[in-house]
Structure 1
Amino acid sequence: MAVRQMIRMLLLIFCASLAAFVLLSLSPIDPLQQNVGQAAMGSMSAEQIERLQAYWGVDTPPLERFAAWVSGMLQGDFGVSLLYRQPVLTVIGAKLANSLWLLVLAWVISGLLGFGLGVLAGATQGRWPDKLIRGWSMIIASTPAFWVALLLLMIFGVWLKLLPVGLSVPIGLEATAVTLADRLRHAILPALALSITGTASVCLHTRQKTIQALESDFVLFARARGESGKGILLRHVLRHVLLPAITLQFASLGELLGSSVLVEEVFSYPGLGQATVTAGLGGDLPLLLGITVICSAMVFGANFAADCLYGLVDPRIRKGAGRT
């Protein structure tokens, strides 16, 4: 089982990296013009332009570039970022440390809020709480994450001036002077934007599962025994809907990573999402491929963790896996 999962992860990383490489290779962006400028290139000598082309890999065949990158990655060398001029893993580590504040906060809030609202909507099917929650979820599900981020920035950052409008730390402070409260304060709006957009799918799915559980035979039997509605919800329904909610919550990590790209751009938050945009627009192939590998591994790890948690939530799955 572990070997099969490892093979699947390697195939996932390879396919994702190949797709990122092909898309960047087909992109009309010229790394030299994008990062050096047409005017500056016009004043350079042919020798200087050749050195720049060698630095950005423009004069290297695409297949050779990808093969060299794969060879280095298998040896633990992800190369050097062309824009930051630092090892790729160093850049990713610094950016990921900033993004973790957002991802963890948004992941936890969206999961708990979506699950709670979904259970409430399902338990009050057809009544005003259900209609209100369902309507709100439908609107949020069709709303882009960057639009929610812009709306929150305008309301709480510009109009009310309650929270910072961007960045991950206050401007002008040294790194040693930045406190945990400062980082959390700057992460509130981006994390809230990601949480709001990530809540809808969990809420709607949990609502449907709650309705199915309330209409099932075991709930009908519990009511016949005289159990209260609250007791049925806590002892029977929650356990039944928890497993699919865990599945959806762990599967939403990939969507959360994708949304963080736009949200971090709106708030100028120096995280992994903003680094992805910078690498793509700047033609930084080693950094973009490194980010692809790390994000693919994170998504696969989240799905694998969900598989492991299934057995804890529902022992029948663990017993079934043991017999196969």
Structure 2
Amino acid sequence: MNILRYLINKLLRLLLLLLTMSALSFTLVSLSPIDPVQAYVGAEMMRIGPEQRQRIAERWGLNDPPLVRYTRWLTSLLKGDLGTSAIYNQPVSQVIRQRFFTSLGLMGSAWVLSGIFGFLLGVISGAKAGSWIDQGIRFYAYLLASTPTFWLALLLLIVFAVSLKWAPICCATPPGLLPEQVTLAQRLHHLALPALTLSIIGVANITLHTRQKLINVLNSDYVLFAKAQGESLWGTLWHHGLRNISLPAITLQFASISELFGGSVLAEQVFAYPGLGQATVQAGLRSDVPLLLGIVLFSTIFVYTGNTIADIVYHFIDPRIRLGAEA
């Protein structure tokens, strides 16, 4: 199967997945006990009368049956219109674009750091299996694998921001400054602690997975034969180990994109980081259906694209793997 047919097949699957996710998400939001009008008005709910409530409901089409509202939203989506956010009173596409670029730096830096350090720790642990170094790395990985993201974020916030005052307590930029006034150093300063939180959590899985794969490779017949011919440990690791453990590591790292997005929701809440994760929470709590559906579709495309890139990378790392081949 050539790459063009493979991409067309993946695109058709993506369209089916987006349709299913949008219908499921809309159904769940429609069944939510949250009153959309009350969530929209907020604390001013007691000051508005029945007529104003009716006008608000008519403006957002809340009086129509769920099927009618979903059909209307889907028709607008096919025209390229994701609707208007009730929270921000802006087009959903604009809100997602602004928030995504804020979250992209956070998730991207955490994804790269967790992949690099997780892979290195896994290689060291697998090469030194049974040693005190291996035991220390495994204890570190198991401990982090069972640590909730929000708890680690709160711990780092208390230690580095409140006690040591090495990092800011909140936000992506210093409060009170316009975006054009913020320097790169200030952005990185505010990014450091949230990115550290996500990368520390993400290290655990890739470390344990890489360690086990490397142990399997080092105990294989061809590696034992290479050692019998005088090949050193690091020589066998370089010539035989890295190539065989890189594919599983890439698989796990690209698969962790969905977990990373979920972790960013919690981290952004703790650090008051104005990214896509925080917008997702606000959209859910305040029943902002257009924004929530837009984020669901965008995150689905984001994760699906990451997995597709991983499949393509496999093919270039190991040409024996055919694109679209059945398992």
Structure-1-length-normalised TM-score: 0.95
Q: Does 2:73 match 1:69?
A: yes
Partner AA of 1:141 in structure 2: A
Q: Kindly tell me: are residues 272 and 323 of structure 1, through their superposed partners in 2, closer, same or farther at Cα, counting changes over 3 Å? A: closer
Q: Which runs of 5+ in 2 are unaligned?
A: 1-5
SS for the counterpart of 2:80 is coil
2:82 paired residue number:
78
Partner AA of 1:186 in structure 2: H
- CA deviations over 1:104-125 (Å, ceiling 9, x no partner): 1000000011111111111111
1:159 to 133, 155, 163: 163
2:315 paired residue number:
311
SS for the counterpart of 1:219 is helix
2:301 to 297, 301, 306: 297
2:107 paired residue number:
103
Q: Distance in 2 between matches of 1:45 and 1:242?
A: 63
1:187 paired residue number:
191
The answer to whether the 8 Å contact 2:40/2:86 transfers is no
Query: How big is the alpha-carbon RMSD for the aligned residues of Structure 1 and Structure 2?
Result: 1.7
Q: Distance in 1 between matches of 2:175 and 2:320?
A: 54
How does 1:229-308 map onto structure 2 within 5 Å?
A: 229-308=233-312
Give how far 1:323 is off. 12
2:35 to 25, 30, 34: 30
The answer to whether the 8 Å contact 1:31/1:56 transfers is no
Q: Kindly tell me: are residues 116 and 289 of structure 1, through their superposed partners in 2, closer, same or farther at Cα, counting changes over 3 Å? A: same
1:4 paired residue number:
9
| Fraction of identical pairs, as percent | 51
Q: Distance in 2 between matches of 1:308 and 1:190?
A: 30
Q: Which runs of 5+ in 1 are unaligned?
A: none
Partner AA of 1:32 in structure 2: V
Partner AA of 1:241 in structure 2: I
Q: Kindly tell me: are residues 163 and 68 of structure 1, through their superposed partners in 2, closer, same or farther at Cα, counting changes over 3 Å? A: same
Partner AA of 1:143 in structure 2: T
Q: Kindly tell me: are residues 272 and 119 of structure 1, through their superposed partners in 2, closer, same or farther at Cα, counting changes over 3 Å? A: same
2:117 paired residue number:
113
1:60 to 53, 64, 73: 64
Partner AA of 1:26 in structure 2: L
Q: Kindly tell me: are residues 158 and 43 of structure 1, through their superposed partners in 2, closer, same or farther at Cα, counting changes over 3 Å? A: closer
- CA deviations over 1:85-121 (Å, ceiling 9, x no partner): 1111100000001001101100000001111111111
Q: Distance in 2 between matches of 1:43 and 1:111?
A: 52
Give how far 1:44 is off. 2.8
The answer to whether the 8 Å contact 2:102/2:275 transfers is yes
2:228 to 214, 221, 224: 224
4+ runs of 1 displaced by more than 4 Å? 320-324
